[in-house]
Amino acid sequence: MRNIVAILSIFLFTISAEAQLQFPNSTKLFLQTTENHLYYETEVLFHTGKYKITDYRFQKLSDSVDKNWTLYACINGDCKDRLTDSGSFKSDFGLNDTTGFIRVHVFTNDSIGSAKYSYRIINKLDAKDFADMEVKVTNKTSSGIEESDAISFNIYPNPAVGFISFQGNHVNKIQRIILRNTAGQIILSAGGLVSNQLNISNLPNGIYVVEITTTHSTLLKKIIKL
């Protein structure tokens, strides 16, 4: 299985002081990948505080997609065959009324290229409550990220049974590790590492996405638990 490398930017949110919107994983997501199909990796999640998700609407600000790539937008589970220009958020089965997300199916079609899009999320009841989000996806060979600046990790063994170990150029800068199942649910969350290892012996067998957060980036890796 090919690795996915995700770099999550660190920056100040462009949200007014009175805004209710909260983005637990930031409003910008930059993904570098060799996968032919990305889905959960493209998700930008947000919470609406005292308001319901149905009180918000979305407006596409921009999009640029390589001619050989295909994107399908999923906004709170409502999937369209394109990057939807505008609309209102709907309640999503399985989520509470104050949780929303925008993600897309990205089909690179084994082609070098990139895709970039941005949306504004706006409270229909409070014009001061809004935020802009941006997602950019490139493959390894077309990315403008210099190899010397990239933070990378290896996880071994993979598949694993009891423990997984982390090896990389900035292991000592790991702040948090999150494991998600294939449905995107958080199964395990740990702050930092002890002896560069993480105990996964109590997890059910299956495929997991490991989010490794350092002082200035987040990377994604897939592992198999046996």
Cα 145–chain centre separation? 18
pLDDT at 176: 85
CATH number of the structural domain 4-13+20-139: 2.60.40
- Among 92, 73, 89, CA closest to 81: 73
What is the model's pLDDT at position 174? Answer: 82
Residue 160 is classified by DSSP as: B
pLDDT at 9: 38
pLDDT tens figures, 155-195: 888 888 999 988 876 777 788 888 988 777 889 988 877 67
For the chain, residues classed under CATH 2.60.40.3080 are: 151-225
Residue 218 confidence (pLDDT): 67
Question: Given this model, what pLDDT does residue 2 score?
Answer: 43
pLDDT at 18 over 70: no
Distance CA 100, CA 35 (A): 25
Query: Which of helix, strand or coil describes residue 25?
Result: coil
| Residues with Cβ within 8 Å of residue 62, at least 6 apart in sequence | 116, 117, 118
Q: How far is CA 206 from CA 158, 161, 162, 180, 219, in A?
A: 12, 11, 13, 11, 20
Distance CA 166, CA 200 (A): 13
Q: What's the rounded Cα separation, in Å, for the pair 88 and 65?
A: 23
Q: What CATH number should be reported for the domain whose range is 151-225?
A: 2.60.40.3080
Entry pTM = 0.57
Model pLDDT for residues 23-78, shown as the tens digit of each residue: 988 899 998 887 777 887 898 999 998 899 999 999 999 999 988 888 888 888 78
Task: Please give the share of the chain, as a percent, with pLDDT higher than 70.
Answer: 81
> In this predicted structure, what is the pLDDT of residue 39?
80
Lowest mean pLDDT, pick from 20-24, 85-89, 107-111: 107-111
* pLDDT at residue 13 greater than cutoff 90: no
Residue 68 contacts by C-beta under 8 Å, 6 or more apart in sequence? Answer: 108, 109, 111, 113
State CA 43 to chain mean position distance: 4
Over range 5-22, report the average pLDDT: 50
3-state SS, residue 66:
coil
For the stretch 114-144, pLDDT in tens is 999 999 999 999 989 999 999 999 886 533 3
Which 8-state DSSP code applies to residue 80? -
